[in-house]
Structure 1
């Protein structure tokens, strides 16, 4: 994963160097809307997918700095993943962190997102987006509870389900499944963009009963690389 991150940083630096010497020949649109399909991969057979609708608006006279919003349906799967204690009031102390081993996790979310972009030219842009609020869902899964304090008062194997509410509160205060992407994008045509970069998805499960420290929420934070294709149906 570290090598992938280094490669991505190299690509970012390369594209920035190229765009710094390119002349701006085409005026940038004030408003853009697009449909976007993204697929990501990471360690432990981690896989993410997302379908979104995004609208962005150019700011200031150049329209290079862009703010936007959208709606995203996303999913995350993996294999034998460790989900650790999620609540922020417990994660600050190693003694209060437990582990939930989920054999075949599959969490999904439907959330509103915000998007920030800087468009260097008609061909290249750099951006970041993140889910803000929405709903989480997915299939229930049997999980293994791992805790040094479990001396029989808690079941070792128990049912868990994806957390049902997604809310961006920053860091470990977050709730549910939230996806964020840092990306570079290249225009294949006037209507079509190719995006690539880093995907961080917060995937969260809620157990059927409270466990140690009265906790029932566990989270995985995989970092993946992704590719996406964006299409603007309104570009003439």
Structure 2
């Protein structure tokens, strides 16, 4: 008898939540998809949970957790920090701000990385079609180290002696052109060039085929970032980013709606 009572006490709160006004306005599911452009691939799996707003449930707001892998060929990564991309060295009365030449490049033959991000999603529900936007906000990225061709006319880095007692400097030129790097680990949405790491933003239209299956079509903007081993001591930088736009298609499997 005690076991029956315990089971009922366990089930009753779950049943109550399932019948509550809040749960009746929730929808969730999984998106399994692929973003693609020439030489760029980004397969991903995302879980989303949305709260439908208002009596008509026209607008939905919520969060998403996204696991994605990026594969890219022949890519240029450019100086990332906003203080360098937006920086200037002075002002000319005739031409305006004097923009500093702080943009360096790291060229990769092949790049791979895997990221996990938590993000925000907003959606307009139009019957059989949903229109929405999703953006990563915070997460982590992992991947193998890669060798890149560092292109800089002024950048320098420190070289430690064998004993480690002293150091000298060398230019990112000639024999020092190739540099080791790895994907930047931390992902943070800070807007524009202030962003850090690997982050995705997408707009989409979801078409409901049947109750438990939908097709999602969209466009994705993906920013990926790498960190080189040797910091440029002139610009005080070792972060580089690449931005790419890709067509996106996915299958949606709702959990409840």
What secondary structure does 1:228 align onto?
strand
Residue number in structure 2 paired with 1:157: 178
Report the Cα distance in structure 2 between the residues aligned to 1:182 and 1:234, rounded to whole angstroms: 22
Give structure 1 regions of 4+ aligned residues with deviation exceeding 3 angstroms: none
Task: Give unmatched runs, 5+ long, in structure 2.
Answer: 1-23, 87-98, 157-169
Can you list the C-alpha shifts for 1:186-226, whole angstroms capped at 9, x where unaligned?
00111111111111111000011212401100000000001
Residue number in structure 2 paired with 1:173: 194
**How far apart are 1:112 and its partner, in Å?**
0.5
Q: Kindly indicate which of the two structures has a greater share of residues assigned to strand.
A: 2
Can you list the C-alpha shifts for 1:113-153, whole angstroms capped at 9, x where unaligned?
110100111x1011000111011111111000011224852
What secondary structure does 1:148 align onto?
coil
Under a length normalisation based on structure 2, what TM-score does the superposition of the two structures give?
0.77
Of the three residues 30, 36, 41, the one matched with 1:35 is 30
RMSD over aligned Cα atoms: 1.4
Task: Give unmatched runs, 5+ long, in structure 1.
Answer: 1-28
**How far apart are 1:33 and its partner, in Å?**
0.8
**How far apart are 1:75 and its partner, in Å?**
1.6
What secondary structure does 1:69 align onto?
strand
Residue number in structure 1 paired with 2:43: 49
Kept after mapping to 2: 8 A contact 1:107/1:204 = no
Question: Are positions 1:76 and 2:70 aligned together?
Answer: yes
Can you list the C-alpha shifts for 1:76-126, whole angstroms capped at 9, x where unaligned?
1111100001101111246111111011011221110110100111x1011
Q: How many residues align?
A: 205
What secondary structure does 2:251 align onto?
strand
Under a length normalisation based on structure 1, what TM-score does the superposition of the two structures give?
0.83
**How far apart are 1:233 and its partner, in Å?**
3.0
Greater CA radius of gyration, 1 or 2? 2
Residue number in structure 1 paired with 2:223: 202
In the TM superposition, 1:52-71 aligns within 5 A as 52-71=46-65
Residue number in structure 1 paired with 2:214: 193
In the TM superposition, 1:119-134 aligns within 5 A as 119-121=125-127, 123-134=128-139
Of the three residues 187, 202, 217, the one matched with 2:239 is 217
